[in-house]
Structures are given as structure tokens and as C-alpha cells.
């Protein structure tokens, strides 16, 4: 059924799926902390993610020319003009919604914005992006995603950055780091072509998967601290434990399944799954 495949490709490679994931994690923070977030912030998180990942797709094609006729790169290359339109619309929406945010949120966005743009646009010598620096990519992704989905909502609500918020920040960063490791496993040949060292290329696949599962365990430890502090309910810990179990299973099979739907669809989809579990069990 080619039309089904086309719809899936549209959702995944237009970057709407990853933007929904960012929105879901932002809403998860709001539910856990019982915040009323303004539509402008939610709109900004969604549209800025759409813009950055669409821009990343466009710029990234130039870095992987030998792979443009294969797998996801063939789909991205085919719909390049569509992705450019989505990037433009996402960038415009992010720009407009930015001015409706609190000034402290606008100020806090400066560093994540610089890191994010430097991640997708060559700003370093040798036409390199931040993601082309050895080992930097995965740490940047984890920290920026945690900042956007945890710190921005709390700043918007004028909540002080006390210990529970920082535990949540580290919890979110650990989760994102863990589910990003499979993508580095998937991209071993790409990173070899671009001469970028990653955790899997340096320490091997088994140790990388063990690290991912360990980080998911660390995520649960941090969540337990927030249960003890009264910020989370016990049901939240159950929801996050289910999320960690499902994510660990996906990590385990990440070197055994090569289809990109497994990564861009299922593993990225764990952000939405985690939010739904937290929402349903809260």
C-alpha cells in the first residue's frame, strides 16, 4: 500500500513527528508540575523544532552525498523542496511566537538557540557543524532537549530552579541521551564517512547499549528522588518505569533492525509514549 508508506514518510520526514515529540515532553513537564503553559510557548516549541530539524535535513544532505540514493536520504532528497517549505513555515512561526514569551524565557533561549543553529549550520572552520565534532553531538542533543522541555516551562511559570527541577532536568537529559544512542548505532557508516567519532564507534555496540540502559535506570533513580520530595506521585514512577522498559527493548534491538521507521518512528516516538503514560497514570 504505497499511499500508507507515503503518509508515514510525510509524517516522519517532514519532521512533524519529532516536533510532536518535543511538544509532548513540554506538556509532560506541565502536567507533572501542574503548570498552565501559554499557547505561545507550546507553539514555539513545536515550530522551532520543526524549523531546526527541517533545516538539519537540508544541510545534512550535502554532507552525505554518497548515501542520497539510499533509505531515508532518498526520501529526504525526493521531498527536499517540501522540507524547505516546512523549514520556512516553522521558522516564521517560531519567530512570531518568540515575541509572546516572557522576557526571561527569551533570554534563556539565547544559548540553546546558538547551540541548535550551530548544530545544523556549518559555523566552525573546515565547514563543520557542532555535530561534526567528536562525541559532541549526543551531549548537545540531550542538554538542549532537556533545557527546552524542562527549563523553559518552569521559567515561563516563574518557578525557581530548585533541586526537584534540576533532578527533572537531568532525568529528561538521561532519557534523551539513552534514546539517541541507537541513532549513533544506526549511523555508524555515516559517521565513518564523515570521520566523526561517536560512543558506538569508539566503545562498540554492546557497551553503548549498556550505557543507554544504564542511563534509563539513572532516569528512574532521579524520578524516585522526585517521588520522595513529593513532586511526583508513585504512579508517575510507574509510568516512567514502563517507558524505560519499552525504551530498553528498543535499544536492545537497535543493531538488529535496520529499517529507519524503527528509529525515526518508534524510538523517537518514545517521547510521545512517555508523555501519554505519564498523563494517563498521573
- Which of the pair, 154 or 74, is modelled with greater confidence? 154
DSSP string, the chain: -HHHHHHHHHHHHTTHHHHHHHHHHHHHHHHHHT----HHHHHHHHHHHHHHHHHHHHHHHHH-GGGTTSHHHHHHHHTHHHHHHHHHHHHHHHHHHHTTS-HHHHHHTHHHHHHHHHHHS--BTTTB-GGGSTTHHHHHHHHHHHIIIIIHHHHHTT----HHHHHHHHHHHHHHHHHHHHHHHHTHHHHHHTT---HHHHH-HHHHHHHHHHHHHHHHHHHHHHHHTTSS-HHHHHHHHHHHHHHHHHHHTTTT---HIIIIIIIHHHHHHHHHHHHHH-
Over pLDDT 90: what percentage of the chain? 64
Q: Using the structure block, give the residue that is written with the C-alpha cell 559517521.
A: 191
Count of domains observed in the chain: 1
Query: What is the pLDDT confidence band of residue 69, given thresholds at 50, 70 and 90?
Result: low
| Length of the chain (residues) | 282
Query: What is the pLDDT confidence band of residue 274, given thresholds at 50, 70 and 90?
Result: very high
Domain containing residue 84: CATH number: 1.10.600
Cα separation of 181 and 205, whole Å? Answer: 9
- The yes-or-no verdict on residue 204 having pLDDT over 80 is yes
Q: What does the longest C-alpha to C-alpha distance in the chain come to?
A: 53
- The yes-or-no verdict on residue 99 having pLDDT over 90 is yes
pLDDT tens digit sequence for 25-47: 999 999 999 999 999 999 999 99
- Which of the pair, 126 or 11, is modelled with greater confidence? 11
Cα separation of 275 and 277, whole Å? Answer: 5
Provide the mean pLDDT of the chain: 90
Q: Containing domain of residue 29, as a range?
A: 2-281
**pLDDT value of position 135:** 84
Other Cβ atoms within 10 Å of 188 Cβ, number? 15
pLDDT tens digit sequence for 229-268: 999 999 999 999 999 999 999 999 999 998 889 999 999 9
pLDDT tens digit sequence for 115-125: 888 888 887 78
**pLDDT value of position 195:** 81
Which residues, in sequence order, are CB contacts of 146 under 8 Å at separation 6+? 169, 170, 172, 173, 176
Amino acid at each position: 500500500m504505497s499511499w500508507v508508506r507515503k503518509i508515514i514518510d510525510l509524517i516522519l520526514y517532514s519532521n512533524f513527528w519529532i516536533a510532536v515529540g518535543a511538544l509532548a515532553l513540554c506538556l509532560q513537564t506541565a502536567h507533572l508540575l501542574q503548570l498552565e503553559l501559554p499557547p505561545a510557548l507550546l507553539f514555539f516549541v513545536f515550530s522551532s523544532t520543526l524549523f531546526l530539524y527541517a533545516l538539519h535535513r537540508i544541510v545534512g544532505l550535502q554532507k552525505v552525498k554518497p548515501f542520497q540514493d539510499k533509505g531515508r536520504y532518498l526520501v529526504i532528497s525526493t521531498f527536499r523542496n517540501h522540507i524547505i517549505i516546512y523549514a520556512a513555515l516553522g521558522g516564521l512561526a517560531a519567530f512570531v511566537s518568540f515575541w509572546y514569551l516572557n522576557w526571561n524565557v527569551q533570554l534563556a533561549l539565547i544559548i540553546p538557540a546558538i547551540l541548535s543553529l550551530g548544530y545544523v549550520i556549518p559555523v566552525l572552520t573546515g565547514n563543520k557543524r557542532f555535530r561534526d565534532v567528536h562525541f559532541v553531538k549526543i551531549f548537545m542533543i540531550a542538554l538542549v532537549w532537556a533545557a527546552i522541555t524542562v527549563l523553559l516551562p518552569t521559567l515561563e511559570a516563574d518557578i525557581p530552579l530548585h533541586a526537584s527541577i534540576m533532578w527533572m532536568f537531568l532525568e529528561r537529559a538521561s532519557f534523551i541521551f539513552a534514546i539517541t544512542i541507537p541513532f549513533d548505532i544506526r549511523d555508524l557508516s555515516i559517521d565513518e564517512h564523515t570521520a566523526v567519532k561517536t560512543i558506538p564507534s569508539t566503545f562498540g555496540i554492546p557497551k553503548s547499549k549498556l550505557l543507554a540502559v544504564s542511563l534509563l535506570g539513572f532516569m528512574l533513580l532521579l524520578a524516585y528522588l522526585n517521588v520522595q520530595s513529593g513532586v511526583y506521585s508513585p504512579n508517575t514512577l510507574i509510568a516512567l518505569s514502563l517507558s524505560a522498559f519499552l525504551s530498553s527493548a528498543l535499544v536492545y534491538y537497535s543493531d538488529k533492525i535496520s529499517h529507519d521507521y524503527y528509529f525515526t518512528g518508534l524510538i523517537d516516538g518514545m517521547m510521545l509514549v512517555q508523555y501519554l503514560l505519564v498523563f494517563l497514570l498521573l
